[in-house]
A and B are shown apart, each in its own frame.
Chain A
Amino acid sequence: MNKPAMPNSFRTGPDEQGMFGIFGGRFVAETLMPLILDLEEQWNKAKTDPEFKAELQNLSTHYAGRPSKLYFAEGLTKHLGGAKVYFKREDLNHTGSHKINNCLGQILLAKRMGKKRIIAETGAGQHGVASATVAARFGYPCVVYMGATDVARQSPNVFRMKLLGAEVRPVTAGHGTLKDAMNEALRDWVTNVEDTYYLIGTAAGPHPYPELVRDFQSVIGSEARAQILEQEGRLPDVIIAAVGGGSNAIGLFHPFLDDKDVRIIGIEAGGRGLDGVEHCASMNAGKPGVLHGNRTYLLQNADGQILDGHSISAGLDYPGVGPEHSWLRDSGRVQYEPILDDEALEAFQLTTRVEGIIPALESAHAIAHAMKIVPKMDKDQLVIVNLSGRGDKDVHTVANMLGMEI
């Protein structure tokens, strides 16, 4: 495939059709089209409305606890003996991950649009918890679709959602993971178009979701950029984030895309290795296709049937990726690398021991890549890793992997 011409800026997408190059778009049933067009219109109004911005800003500060800290991970830096490692502490946000950034933005949109009911899909349960949280805060009934496999491996989050008043509907189709939950959420949406707002958790789906989720998550990168300039007086050499659907990653990356000296690395779930089918590295081992409203890299067979994939991390267990990542991959601006289950597990344990921080397994994938490259870098170089969420939800999975009972 020919590489697209290098654009003047990597931050102008999507175009009016919702495309990032050949990726993105609006591949949805006609029933949903009027809603998506309405959402786009409302979003275009909201994003320039000072009142909307002020309300979101106020909630971000006083409810979610922003700005999140940019923390110099001294223990990990010493342990690795190379570049200085910083963590962007999204784990310290209310609900324990970056997901709240997007949920606060979208619930305000739902309110503007006069919707009466919230639906969401979730993998690890982090987005489900954040959705249930904002639904509770704003008084909406909330239904969360979650793959049955994920319900089993993320039981603490399932209970949190229930406490928050949400109904969790397990989805048994396929492997019972995020892809299947998203199918079921789309079926609910197409059935309840009049009153329901679909709060998509990642920077994927039909336009304008990839754009609006990115914009709500870009607070991560905007803060990190200002913080590193403040704390180190210069931009970082490398920034790293894990990519499932890719919302925490695009949120960190987007404000840095035109800083051409900043190397940007997205980490995909390598699962048990890219040789087989037990991974979720769609950009390393998949090819472009159309699913869930957008064209993007997908794990699929020769007949265009979508594969289920595998990751130790429920949040990365998705056979696709947000369309802007696919475009950034093909344009060469961002490099995407796989990290195996075992490597993530090792990073999870190391971070816990040397930093006293239990990272989410998703974030542990990004840390695992830092562990590979940091020792080879100079001591005066800077690396920012997005610590997208806290790992309390994963302790059962980790105990299981380590053969321990808790």
Chain B
Amino acid sequence: MTTRIDRRMAKLKAEGRPALVTYIMGGDPDYDTSLSIMKALPASGSDVIELGMPFSDPMADGPAIQAAGLRALKGGQTLAKTLKMASDFRASDNDTPIVLMGYYNPIYIYGVDRFLADAKASGIDGLIVVDLPPEMDEELCIPALKAGVNFIRLATPTTDDKRLPKVLENTSGFVYYVSMTGITGSALADTAKVSAAVTRIKGHTALPVCVGFGVKTAEQARVIGASADGVVVGTAIVNAIANVLGPKGEKTADPAEAVATLVSGLAQGVRSARLAAAE
């Protein structure tokens, strides 16, 4: 069974360039604005969309994504609304893969079976749930695979060769390599080390490997994209939204346009990675 993720990654591989994976927080700063930002992403060059599910206690996230989650929650976002956002997006785009990213508790409270059914119906292709390591696969990973939803696992610098097979075992869609030990939005790690890690992981799996945490600029996207199958950008996009919000949350410019400008630049970066890799 192939998903939109499989098809998109295969297509980009044929084109010989890495994917640009863009993260936005669902409902940040409000539902309508967030949906307009999401809708503008593919035209700006985003290949895969990670849609954040806001959570009150995001333990793996830095200040920028914490703040984005709080803005979304304050704006009334819920898991049900995040699913609705995906389905509203699907009305005009049936190709761009959507991966939900967040923490387990809201899903657990929503109910795993109900969540998977609704996610599938909303056009969700994959899940990244930060606090569900392979040891907890029975909770959501196995049910998701049965439901035909990719479960994308995070591999980190602490995931050594001994542990890697366990992490990869039930992973599908792609592998998300976390470039550093740290929280989202930290400074990018040594790119040579990241490339070596990507090569190491590729030795264990045929799945595409996307790299995230710390990628903020087109140049970084280009460098990382030379070895990885995809580059994930989150904090920089979330900051682009925060930067056009005033002290009371009022918009000082169009957030969708601010994000589109940034993403277009990042897309240039990943596209030049192809040229760099071909040389």
Contacts and interface: CB of A to CB of B under 8 A. Distances in A.
A29 interface: yes
B109 A183 contact: no
B135 interface: yes
B57 A306 contact: yes
A293 B131 contact: yes
A173 interface: yes
Contact of A30 (B57, B78, B133): B133
Interface in A179-206: 179, 183, 186-187, 190-194
25 contacts: A26-B136, A27-B132, A27-B133, A29-B133, A29-B156, A30-B159, A31-B156, A187-B59, A190-B60, A190-B181, A190-B183, A191-B182, A191-B186, A193-B181, A287-B109, A290-B104, A298-B105, A300-B105, A303-B109, A303-B110, A304-B55, A304-B106, A304-B109, A305-B55, A305-B73
Contact of A29 (B56, B79, B131, B157): B131
A302 interface: yes
A190 B62 CA distance: 11
B181 A290 contact: no
Contacts of B134: 33
Contacts of A34: 158-160, 163
Given A17-B135, A31-B178, A305-B56, A289 B109 contact: yes
Nearest to B80: A303
B111 to A, nearest CB: 10
A33 B133 contact: yes
Interface string B131-163: 111111000000000000000011111111001
Given A173-B66, A305-B56, A30 B167 contact: yes
A27 B131 contact: yes
A291 B105 contact: yes
A289 B106 CA distance: 8
Nearest to B109: A304
A159 to B, nearest CB: 28
Nearest to B181: A193
A25 B60 contact: no
A27 B136 contact: yes
Interface string B214-245: 00000000000000000000000000000000
A45 to B, nearest CB: 19
B40 interface: no
Interface residues of B, number: 42
Interface string A289-314: 11111010010101111100000000
B57 A193 contact: no
Q: Mostly helix, strand, loop or mixed at chain A's interface?
A: mixed
Interface of A: 17, 25-35, 173-174, 179, 183, 186-187, 190-194, 287, 289-293, 295, 298, 300, 302-306
B178 A300 contact: no
Contacts of B159: 30, 33-34
5 closest A-B pairs by beta carbon, nearest first, are A304-B109, A304-B106, A191-B182, A305-B56, A31-B156
B56 A187 contact: no
A30 B109 contact: no
Nearest to B77: A303
A28 to B, nearest CB: 6
B60 A29 contact: yes
A302 B79 CA distance: 10
A292 B109 contact: no
Contacts of B108: 289-290, 295, 304
